[in-house]
């Protein structure tokens, strides 16, 4: 497994409400940090997965599935750290 660090930009529903944060955690986004910058919602992830595509796909599925109306519109890859387990 490798650890992939990436950020996503989210539009639509407010993912920072208490209910949304609870739903995101329950959906598996405990490895993400959610916030806003200049009115733009973002999440930064450090996610373990076999490859980058799976890391991103699982984060998008969790966000969009947990919060009705949330839409991931951009993904920015930061860095990768090899994790041996």
pLDDT: is 83 or 39 the higher one? 39
Closest by CA position to 41, among listed 25, 57, 64, 58 = 64
Distance (Å, rounded) from C-alpha 12 to C-alpha 1? 32
> What pLDDT score was predicted for residue 25?
98
Is the torsion defined by CA of 39, 54, 79, 28 positive or negative?
positive
- Each residue of 50-82: pLDDT tens digit? 999 999 999 999 999 999 999 999 999 986 555
Question: pTM for the whole thing?
Answer: 0.90
Fold (topology level) of 2-82: Alpha-Beta Plaits (3.30.70)
Q: Which helix or strand (DSSP H or E) is residue 85 part of? A: none
């Amino acid at each position: 497994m490798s650890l992939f660090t990436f950020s996503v930009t989210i539009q639509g529903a407010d993912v920072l409400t208490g209910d949304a944060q609870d739903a995101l955690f329950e959906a598996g986004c405990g490895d993400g940090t959610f916030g806003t910058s200049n009115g733009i919602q973002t999440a930064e992830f450090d996610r373990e997965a076999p490859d980058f595509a799976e890391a991103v796909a699982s984060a998008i599925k969790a966000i969009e599935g947990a919060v009705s109306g949330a839409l991931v519109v951009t993904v920015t890859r930061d860095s990768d750290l090899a994790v041996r387990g």
